[in-house]
């Protein structure tokens, strides 16, 4: 691998995060339950990881603030605009993959 500095690595990681965040903002047709079923994480997981990273740096970031960073709008607004009822198949797949409703977020 090419030798890069820690600063360059962090800049590249930040750019990749922003691209993922922006991609998820654009793909409002993809529901969180679908992401969880296929990839094992969703927008809420990403916002939780962001908040945890902030906490590790001594930054007090509230759950709703972190979600707004990921969703690009208040979470409730996103839900009202874009969230649909999950299909019975998606709900069953989620239940099978997450016994007891534990998702790791």
Q: Does residue 76 sit within a domain?
A: yes
- Residue 2's pLDDT is 85
Give the torsion sign (CA, 61, 65, 67, 72): negative
Q: Does residue 51 sit within a domain?
A: yes
Q: Does residue 90 sit within a domain?
A: yes
The total number of structural domains that make up the chain: 1
Give the torsion sign (CA, 10, 13, 17, 18): positive
The share of the chain scoring above pLDDT 70, in percent, equals: 92
Q: Does residue 1 sit within a domain?
A: no
Q: Does residue 10 sit within a domain?
A: yes
- Residue 105's pLDDT is 54
The two tokens of residue 97 are 């993959």
The two tokens of residue 68 are 């707004």
Does residue 84 contact residue 23 with C-beta atoms inside 8 Å?
A: no
Q: Does residue 33 sit within a domain?
A: yes
The share of the chain scoring above pLDDT 90, in percent, equals: 82
CATH of the domain at 80: 1.10.3340.10
Q: Does residue 105 sit within a domain?
A: no
Domain containing 68 equals 6-100
Q: Does residue 20 sit within a domain?
A: yes
The phi and psi torsions of 64 (rounded to 5 degrees) equal: -65, -30
Per-residue pLDDT tens for 33-80?
999 999 999 999 999 999 999 999 999 999 999 999 999 999 999 999
Q: In this structure, which long-range contacts are made by residues 96-100, counting pairs with CB atoms below 8 Å and at least 24 apart in sequence?
A: 97/36, 97/37, 97/40, 98/36
């Amino acid at each position: 691998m090419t030798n890069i500095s820690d600063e360059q690595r962090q800049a590249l990681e930040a750019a990749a995060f922003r691209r993922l965040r922006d991609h998820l903002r654009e793909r409002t047709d993809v529901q969180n339950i679908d992401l969880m079923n296929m990839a094992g994480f969703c927008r809420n997981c990403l916002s939780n990881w962001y908040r945890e990273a902030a906490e590790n740096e001594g930054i007090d970031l509230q759950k709703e603030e972190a979600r707004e960073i990921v969703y690009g709008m208040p979470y409730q607004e996103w839900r009202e605009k874009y969230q649909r009822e999950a299909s019975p198949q998606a709900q069953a797949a989620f239940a099978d993959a997450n016994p007891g409703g534990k998702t790791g977020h």
